[in-house]
Chain A
Amino acid sequence: MSSELARPGLWTRAQRGSVERLHIRLESLLVLLALAAVMAALSPYFLSFSNFLNILLATSTIGILAIAATFVISAGGLDLSLGSVMGLSGVAGAFVTVNLGVPWGLGVLACILTGALAGTVNGQLVTRALVPAFIVTLGMLGIARGLALVISGGRVIYGLPPELLYLGQGRPFGIPMPVVIFVATAIVAHCVLAYTRFGRHTLAIGDSEGAARAAGIRVDRHRRVLYTLSGALAGLAGMLFMARINSGDPTAGLNYELTAITAAIIGGTNLFGGRGSILGTMIGALIMGVLQNGLNLLAVQSYYQQMAIGAVLILAVFIDQYQIRKETRS
């Protein structure tokens, strides 16, 4: 019925092998390893177990937000409220435990539910009121941040119950709790996105909404679930940071949403939807984490760091688009 293409070369086959098995992109992994090698060569402090844990710890909150971003963006949506909801959730959790004396378990729940609630509002507006996700979540960005400042009176709410502190400061087997929670979340999220129906449908919706509808997928309902999930993850991130510094900080997560989205894109998520993997996003987040950590160790000023991250993002998207253009016929 049609002609066969020429047998693809070794490099392409290796890539497809990775794509097939682990749902990551070879290029991202190579960039990460190369970056790590460069940093190790430039700074004697880089290659140590404690610095390695340091990088993971610094990447935990952004990483969880990036997981949220991956799900939403893969379905063709966008969530700009991630950082603000993270801040609001931390404040909410601190408020109920410190000011209302609620037990610590409910405090954790308060964080996650606050995030889920904000996400649900986003989802309702996007799917029912048909307001574009960019605008809805941009509005939520302001509302959540403002609400966090209102509830906290503009100052940090200090003094959480000690059990809660363990979630942010405990070190089971020497590994910081936030890292444990982050890695566990990433593993579960990866399995959901790559191996379950829910995950496959998420990608299909972002790829072609028409195809998804024709396939009987309840697109709107699925989107609402995704936004709620995104908010809940932001709530989890907020809870972790709150537990780390023993206070609800209304300025937590400021501007984090852009970094989270950047991590997802560097890791191979298609900004317009239809392609994404959590493992890939983790690599993207680690690339940024290694970059920041390495530059910090070298005492490079933060302005250069911002330039470096911007450059890596553009490079990553360029490579991505180049691949797509090679693979797709016009």
Chain B
Amino acid sequence: MGRRLATIRGSALALALAVMSTGPGVLAQDGQYAVLMKTLSNPFWGAMGQGVEDGAKEAGIDYFIQAVESDQAAEPQLNVCNTMLERQPVAMITAAINSTNLLPCLKTAQDRGIPIVDLDANLDPAVLEAEGIEIAFRIGSDNVAAGAQGAEYLVSRLGAEATGPVLVIEGLSGNITGQRRAQGFAQRLGELAPGLEIVASLPGDWDRGKAASITNDILTRHPDLVAIFAANDGMALGAVEAVYAAGLGDQVTIIGVDGNSDAVKSIRDGRLNASVAQLPYLVGKQAVENVKKVLAGETVPKDIAVPTLVLTREVLEEGSEPLLQYVK
């Protein structure tokens, strides 16, 4: 029965021997940065990727970038992270899906002396401390400040004496970014305009469709809704559709966060009112620049905050704001 079977057995054995005989780090690569994003389907991350690319080009750095199929694929991202470590990068720049899913991989990176960068501040400092993981730095927008800017814009539009119900659409449950934005907004709003009452704060899971459903439900309960703050643009745009479908476009002020290209288009069209633009392009670019410094032995701040910018129709049409060039 054999020849075919014997050949297969033989090749399997050879393969096994080959695997066993090679250890890790067979090939030394010079200085590749590993960049792990959540998913590339959101233009936000696309812009960040662009920033990484431009930053790497300017700094003369070689890198490889990967993502997973959705921003909820926790274990797959962990698996990709482990695989990236196989390529012996000199730095790991990661945007974790939640505060714990990459822990085993980050520990391994730390054991191998590879500096870790928390891209867009997804890791919980308390968890990192408990796990004994030290990151080189975290870089991202100050999400609390971003939320606060959203509140400031709303108050500037409606007035400090305004009253009425407000809906907050949070991000993915448990995600720290979404939490900070919602908190920042709620706190500042309470300070500036106590008459504006947040009647609901619900998780939209970063999902456009889900945000639309939530908006519909809340509009049914509160037909006199005056404003919606969504923790990202995708959800804000979902809310926009729901509001306009209900014919309440003039009544409800809608604010998103991210400033991605879809949001910009909607603002120019006069549908979405404002978006607190993060500058993901800058985040990506500065992440790479700072990693280069770290590897060169320089000190960089542990918390690098990239400024945010409130985008409105006026700001876009005027076009004089210098940070606008970083809005992609």
| Chain A residues proximal to chain B, CB less than 8 Å | 10-11, 13-14, 17-18, 26, 29-30, 33, 36-37, 40, 44-45, 47-52, 54, 57-58, 61, 149, 152-156, 158-159, 168-169, 241, 244-247, 249-255, 292-293, 296-297, 299, 301-303, 305-306
Q: In the complex the two chains form, what is the Cα distance from A247 to B68 in whole Å?
A: 21
Set A30, A301, A305: member contacting B40, Cβ < 8 A: A301
Expressed in whole angstroms, the minimum distance between the Cβ of B137 and any Cβ of chain A is 22
Q: In the complex the two chains form, what is the Cα distance from A112 to B104 in whole Å?
A: 23
Contacting residues, chain A, for B24 (C-beta < 8 A): 48-51
Contacting residues, chain A, for B65 (C-beta < 8 A): 299
| Chain B residues proximal to chain A, CB less than 8 Å | 1-5, 8, 11-12, 15, 18-20, 22-24, 26-27, 40, 64-70, 72-76, 78-80, 82-84, 86-87, 98-101, 103-104, 124, 127, 130-131, 173-174, 203
Q: Closest residue to B84 on the A side, CB-wise?
A: A296
Q: Are B74 and A50 touching (Cβ within 8 A)?
A: no
Expressed in whole angstroms, the minimum distance between the Cβ of A39 and any Cβ of chain B is 11
Q: Closest residue to A245 on the B side, CB-wise?
A: B100
Set B67, B72, B86: member contacting A48, Cβ < 8 A: B86
Q: Are A159 and B82 touching (Cβ within 8 A)?
A: no
Contacting residues, chain B, for A168 (C-beta < 8 A): 104
New A-B pairs, 7, CB < 8 Å, besides A48-B24, A149-B173, A299-B65:
A10-B3, A40-B18, A54-B86, A57-B79, A254-B74, A255-B73, A297-B83
Expressed in whole angstroms, the minimum distance between the Cβ of B145 and any Cβ of chain A is 23
Set B12, B19, B82, B131: member contacting A52, Cβ < 8 A: B19
Q: Closest residue to B19 on the A side, CB-wise?
A: A52
Q: In the complex the two chains form, what is the Cα distance from A37 to B2 in whole Å?
A: 22
Q: A50-B23, A156-B100 are in contact. Are A302 and B74 (CB under 8 A)?
A: no
Q: Are A246 and B131 touching (Cβ within 8 A)?
A: yes
Q: A33-B11, A49-B20, A252-B75 are in contact. Are A156 and B174 (CB under 8 A)?
A: yes
Contacting residues, chain A, for B103 (C-beta < 8 A): 245-246
Q: In the complex the two chains form, what is the Cα distance from A17 to B84 in whole Å?
A: 40
Q: A154-B203, A249-B100 are in contact. Are A44 and B26 (CB under 8 A)?
A: yes
Contacting residues, chain A, for B19 (C-beta < 8 A): 47-49, 52
Contacting residues, chain B, for A50 (C-beta < 8 A): 23-24, 86
Pairs across A and B, CB under 8 Å, 25 listed: A14-B4, A14-B5, A17-B1, A30-B8, A33-B11, A40-B15, A48-B19, A49-B20, A50-B23, A51-B83, A51-B86, A54-B83, A58-B82, A156-B98, A156-B100, A250-B174, A254-B74, A292-B79, A293-B79, A293-B83, A297-B87, A302-B66, A302-B67, A302-B69, A302-B76
Q: In the complex the two chains form, what is the Cα distance from A178 to B131 in whole Å?
A: 20
Q: Are B87 and A45 touching (Cβ within 8 A)?
A: yes
Expressed in whole angstroms, the minimum distance between the Cβ of B58 and any Cβ of chain A is 21
Q: Are B72 and A251 touching (Cβ within 8 A)?
A: yes
Contacting residues, chain A, for B69 (C-beta < 8 A): 302-303, 305-306
- Which 6 pairs, one residue from A and one from B, show the smallest C-beta to C-beta distance? A154-B173, A155-B174, A58-B79, A296-B83, A247-B100, A50-B24
Q: In the complex the two chains form, what is the Cα distance from A253 to B27 in whole Å?
A: 34
Q: Are B8 and A155 touching (Cβ within 8 A)?
A: no
Contacting residues, chain A, for B127 (C-beta < 8 A): 158
Contacting residues, chain B, for A33 (C-beta < 8 A): 8, 11-12, 15
Q: A49-B24, A158-B100, A296-B66 are in contact. Are A254 and B87 (CB under 8 A)?
A: no
Contacting residues, chain A, for B1 (C-beta < 8 A): 10, 13-14, 17
Contacting residues, chain B, for A306 (C-beta < 8 A): 69
Q: Are B5 and A17 touching (Cβ within 8 A)?
A: yes
Q: Are B104 and A158 touching (Cβ within 8 A)?
A: no
Expressed in whole angstroms, the minimum distance between the Cβ of B274 and any Cβ of chain A is 27
